[in-house]
Structure 1
Amino acid sequence: MEASMGTQLPYLLQGCERCQNDGGNLAPAGSQAEAERLEQLLGASTATSAWIGLRLERGHCVQSQEPLRGFSWAASGEPSNYSAWLAEPHVTCLSTRCVALRPAGPHGPLGWVDRPCRATLPAFLCKFSFRGMCGPLRLGGPGQVSYETPFRVSSLSLAAAPFGTLAEVVCEGAASPIFSVCKGQEGDGFTWHPPGPICPNTCTHNNGGCQQLCLEEPGKPALCTCRPNYVLGPDMASCLPEDPCHPNPCEGACQPQPGGFKCVCEAGYTVAPDGYRCVDVDECLEGPCKHECHNTAGSFFCSCQPGYQPAGPGGRDCRDEDECTRPDVCPQLCLNIAGSFRCICRTGYQQQPGSDACLDIDECLRDPCPGPCRNLPGKFECICLPGFLPQDDGQGCLAAPTTGEQLAGTMGTTAILQTASTAWTVGTPSPAAIPGGLTPPAPTVVVSEHSPEHEHGADGPRLLLYYILGSLVAILLLLAFALALLACRKRAARQEKTKAKSAADNYCWVPEQPESRSRAGSELR
């Protein structure tokens, strides 16, 4: 595994293609150690920031609750929860966003910053994985070696050359260079083909390129050999113990190495500082689980909080469980929420305190109808008086449409269809109820055919109010008419009494006197 850096590419896409063409990917930083390694590589250059392999594809949204905020690494492998955001990424679902690594400095610590993928940065970081490594190519005589790795890094000195590295050797006095390639061999080893030492000469120069002993015979090139209990390595220059792993000095597996051996532990364990024992790795320190992580000997497992179910590779992610899919989870309606659920009631019901049971609401207590009201489960129904029709929802009454004939209604109301308007006679009394047998004109309430009430239908309370007001007006008119009629009759009676007196009432009557007295009196005068 190796990381390298490219420079002077205007767009990240070109850097990504360069990494992939060389057999790698844009470098991930899944842990603090990887981030510091990339920072060291970046610090060896003059670049102030470089692209890494963290990317948000178009159509994917930023997830503020996740460590990587919905971004994903370009390189394949197990995801980690390590994050080093210097600022929250731009919230979007419609554009592709990429991430740059910014080293620590006066502006702040080492961390990540998201950018548009077409932005220009001075460098990009690549990571390569190889099957194995070869040691330095040994020279038996004067000469110069130059290496070129598969990811196009050229160097005159490598402590370890990746598989596929090409070495070009120019021997002193040679007419043409010699090439050697790092290849695999039978087993797990890797060596140069052709092996060294190259540029053979005498053992007097650099010990003939041999690690231990150099043998020289007259007329033949120098040869390397090893001390007792050691064998010549595949490169024909280094020496290995005959069997450094027998008996096995390691708690785990033992691998022979040039000049010794190396202990290797099983997955989930790492070599102790003494180089022999194996100790358990606490994978939970890297936060591989979304909710809860439980470390075990050599491994770990993830669990989710109540109301969530494991999801994703290895059950490391957690998704909300829809409890509402269970049968009979609620008496009426179920509302799923993150990590739980809630029972709710339909319209016309209310939840009983302390339980999920739903009780019917008696809507008739609110007096919603102009007349009688009947409560039903979850609703109510208005009972309409004669002359009215129920509405479609049963929660109100409308006046029944009239025809050309007179319709008998409640409270003595008569509907008369007229040419220009419709009139209802309100509270018409019988002729016998009026003194003198006279019938006064009946007061009427007239509603125009083009009025809003006629067009849209009058509701029950308004009509009832019209009936009451019309009846009161009719009664008052009848009383006024009766009082006026009584006053007229009294006045007529007084006039008839005055006319009965005769004309003699202007004269005085004297009692009759005897005729004799009259005569005597006249004579005396």
Structure 2
Amino acid sequence: MAAALLLLQLLTLLTAVARGEDAEVLCADTACYTLHRAELGWNAAQERCQHDGGNLAPAGSRDEAERLERLLEASTATSAWIGLRLERGRCVQPQEPLRGFAWASSGEPGNYSAWLAEPHVTCLSTRCVALRPAGPHGPSGWVDRPCRAVMPAFLCKFSFRGMCGPLRLGGPGRVSYETPFRVRSPTLMAAPFGTLAEVVCEGAESPAFSVCKGQLEGDGFAWHPPGPLCPNTCAHRNGGCQQQCLEAPGQPSRCACQPGYVLGPDMTSCLPEDACHSNPCQGACRPLPGGFECVCEAGYILAPDGQHCVDVDECLEGPCRHECHNTAGSFFCSCQPGYQPAGPGGHDCRDEDECTRPDACPQLCLNIPGSFRCTCRAGYQQQPGSDACVDVDECLRDPCPGSCHNIPGSFKCICPPGFFLQEDGYSCLAEPTTGEQLAGTMGTTTILQTTSTTRTVGTPGPPAVPSGLTPPAPTVVGSEHSPEHGADGPRLLLYYILGSLVAILLLLAFALALVACRKRAARQEKQKAKSAADNYCWVPEQPESRSRAGSERR
């Protein structure tokens, strides 16, 4: 019974007519919540709330969520929009309580959430949240829907600087409250600042009015005029009091309660005396024999005064691997760029392999902790200030003995005429040729061939002349695949040609010398073949007749 009366005091659900529509209103603390039956999308519902000075209702705590659930259950609506939305371009964050969604009222995100199912994962479309009441399908909670979807109802919240209690009438009559957000109600357990109360007293010719505006001590508000607005005596319906009606000369009647009861906020009803009746605690109040005890929600600790609650900074214990963000009553973890949440509750972080994305790098991708680095394939180099790869012109280093042809990512060597490329792709080898071909190539030298030689017995002769001359053994002009060796290729080719020319000239000189020696030896052989008489001198023969005549003269 006490719990029912306490609930009646704190939360009052009632139907009102505002601008021709049914609305249910609940005022508590410094805010009023309304439920409107109208089939609208999320944006249209938000515009309706803003038009009256509010926003679609948030549910930042369990107490606030219970108020919205009671409004929705009393309306028999199947679901209603609340002020939770994911903007286009923002992604769902599984590690956060609100999953990346934000309240339309732009308040603190908080750690309270009541998802019936994980929201649709997206970054490209807006998603909005509706409250679904408890029923056969399960408990009450949140579901995300496309913002263009139509819901049968929506919930608004209007915040004020303070509240006034129920207006005291005194005598018989009826009151109608008109709130600043233009909702009319026959009774309110708490009326927001600026509410106009219209009182029609029994037997009165015209209504009386009172406004919630006066500020009391402790930032409270009161009615002006305060009331009672309807004249009354205890003789008439006990002065409107539930238990006792007291009268004093020259003063209006007032209500009182019997021992064990206290006067309710309406100043007419009586409630069982309870130390937790007025809820002196910031959190929950637990009645105890002769007193009470304050209890705080999870994530809070009791302040030294024993009534208020202080937030616990869970981040001081280091529950997160990377970054910890303290929130009211809780906390959430986040990871540094290049990492993704992992582990229970998203407290751990694992490295994200960016190289799995097909567009990470133009050519090669190297994953490193928390990031990645782009590299290029062999034959390419990275363009300064960019990840783009440009082809390297290897021919600028002159790596080939002959000419060089650059191709994307590599190069190709082309050997001079008379040479062919070896399997290594760099070295050039001379093609096999005969002596006559070499002589024809030089254009200035004739290879001499000697078919036979004559040798005198006992006379030493020159060495035999080979039947033909062949060019020196082919010389390989090689090139290592490096700029230093590649630059020596043409020089080695020139050395090879000059060496071949010198060898041919030496062979020709040897042949000529051999021929001259043969001729000289032949002349010497002919001189030895002459007779011994050749060593004497012959006297010329004279006529015989002359000789005889001379002797006769003597």
Shift of 1:88: 3.8
Shift of 1:97: 1.9
In 1: Cα distance, 2:76 partner to 2:267 partner:
39
In 2: Cα distance, 1:79 partner to 1:113 partner:
17
Secondary structure at 2:189 match in 1: coil
Shift of 1:187: 1.3
In 2: Cα distance, 1:136 partner to 1:385 partner:
102
Which stretch of the first structure deviates more once superposed, 386-395 or 147-156? 386-395
Question: Structure 2 residue aligned with 1:263, among 280, 287, 293?
Answer: 280
- Tell me, yes or no, if structure 1 residue 19 matches structure 2 residue 19: no
Partner of 2:109: 79
In 1: Cα distance, 2:231 partner to 2:401 partner:
125
Partner of 1:282: 298
Shift of 1:125: 1.0
TM-score, with structure 2 as normaliser: 0.50
Partner of 1:371: none
1:142 maps to a residue whose letter is P
CA contact (8 A) 1:140 1:199 kept: yes
Residues 34 and 202 of structure 1, relative CA distance in 2, 3 Å threshold: closer
Residues 91 and 391 of structure 1, relative CA distance in 2, 3 Å threshold: same
- Tell me, yes or no, if structure 1 residue 429 matches structure 2 residue 430: no
Shift of 1:18: 2.5
Partner of 1:195: 226
- 1:321-470 matches, cutoff 5 A: 335-337=367-369, 386-387=401-402, 389=404, 397-399=412-414, 426-431=431-436
- 1:204-353 matches, cutoff 5 A: 204-208=235-239, 214-215=246-247, 217=249, 222-224=252-254, 263-264=280-281, 271-274=285-288, 276-283=292-299, 298-302=311-315, 308-310=322-324, 318-320=334-336, 335-337=367-369
Shift of 1:307: 5.6
In 2: Cα distance, 1:87 partner to 1:64 partner:
12
Secondary structure at 2:71 match in 1: helix
In 2: Cα distance, 1:73 partner to 1:174 partner:
48
Which stretch of the first structure deviates more once superposed, 39-48 or 308-317? 308-317
Question: Structure 2 residue aligned with 1:125, among 128, 152, 155?
Answer: 155
Partner of 1:103: 133
1:19 maps to a residue whose letter is C
Is there any run of 5+ residues in structure 1 with no aligned partner, and where?
Answer: 228-232, 240-249, 251-256, 286-295, 324-332, 349-378, 401-406, 412-423, 441-459, 461-525
Shift of 1:50: 0.7
In 1: Cα distance, 2:155 partner to 2:135 partner:
19
Shift of 1:200: 1.0
In 2: Cα distance, 1:238 partner to 1:23 partner:
33
In 2: Cα distance, 1:137 partner to 1:61 partner:
49
2:188 maps to a residue whose letter is L
In 2: Cα distance, 1:177 partner to 1:306 partner:
63
Size of the aligned set, in residue pairs, is 347
Secondary structure at 2:199 match in 1: strand
Shift of 1:122: 1.1
TM-score, with structure 1 as normaliser: 0.53
Partner of 2:199: 169
In 2: Cα distance, 1:396 partner to 1:435 partner:
49
Shift of 1:221: 6.9
Shift of 1:100: 1.3
In 1: Cα distance, 2:152 partner to 2:409 partner:
75
Secondary structure at 1:98 match in 2: strand
Which stretch of the first structure deviates more once superposed, 109-118 or 207-216? 207-216
Partner of 2:530: none
Partner of 2:356: none
Shift of 1:204: 1.5
2:58 maps to a residue whose letter is P
In 2: Cα distance, 1:167 partner to 1:181 partner:
6
Secondary structure at 1:70 match in 2: coil
Shift of 1:410: 5.3
Q: More relative contact order in 1 or in 2 (CA 8 Å, sep 6+)?
A: 2
- Tell me, yes or no, if structure 1 residue 94 matches structure 2 residue 110: no
- 1:60-79 matches, cutoff 5 A: 60-79=90-109
CA contact (8 A) 1:382 1:394 kept: no
Shift of 1:335: 4.5
In 1: Cα distance, 2:93 partner to 2:231 partner:
63
Q: What is the percentage of aligned positions where both structures have the same residue?
A: 53
2:128 maps to a residue whose letter is C
CA contact (8 A) 1:263 1:271 kept: yes
Which stretch of the first structure deviates more once superposed, 428-437 or 68-77? 428-437
2:173 maps to a residue whose letter is G
CA contact (8 A) 1:28 1:54 kept: yes
Secondary structure at 2:91 match in 1: coil
- 1:496-511 matches, cutoff 5 A: none
In 2: Cα distance, 1:221 partner to 1:25 partner:
45
Secondary structure at 2:313 match in 1: strand
Secondary structure at 1:320 match in 2: coil
CA contact (8 A) 2:98 2:109 kept: no
CA contact (8 A) 1:225 1:237 kept: yes
Shift of 1:52: 0.9
2:432 maps to a residue whose letter is G
Residues 24 and 334 of structure 1, relative CA distance in 2, 3 Å threshold: same
CA contact (8 A) 2:58 2:82 kept: yes
Shift of 1:3: 2.0
CA contact (8 A) 1:103 1:111 kept: yes
CA contact (8 A) 2:166 2:266 kept: no
